[in-house]
Structure 1
Amino acid sequence: MRLGPNERGLQVGVVQLGLLTWHLLDDWTSQVVLMAVNKVLKRNPKHLYRASKDYQRVELLCSLVRNNDWINKECLTESE
């Protein structure tokens, strides 16, 4: 789905809301959130990390993202 010039901002919003309500999501919705995580991750992992930090969901993000060196480094730093 294309959302025009607001697409990137909306994807970040989907990620934030999805991480915030993760424990309430059904399987389909959690997969939609994961797709948004992967899209934002490819473009700007720092923005994704900051977005998760805003909602105190860094630990959850770290458990979901495994194949990004920058995020992995930040997750190690966060857990110390």
Structure 2
Amino acid sequence: MKPEELGNEALLQEAKKSKTTRVYDAAIFGFLIGVAVYSTVRNGFGLLTFLPVIYIPVAAKNKAKYAELERLLKERNLK
């Protein structure tokens, strides 16, 4: 269901879930950066060095969804 189709309560709940997702994205990305740095220092450049690059599209999609939710919240004066 698209965010524009949600009612006010459902939109607020979705925004709350999205905030949690942003925290998870940051934690996962930080962990992947750590793995990449450790792998590079330990073994030189390899597959794990570029592991964080694989997660960037997922995080970007989540960020765009969060921005859309925030825009709708402001538009409906819910924030």
TM-score, length basis structure 1: 0.43
Relative contact order, CA 8 A, sep 6+: which one is greater? 2
Higher Cα Rg: structure 1 or 2? 2
Greater share of helix: 2
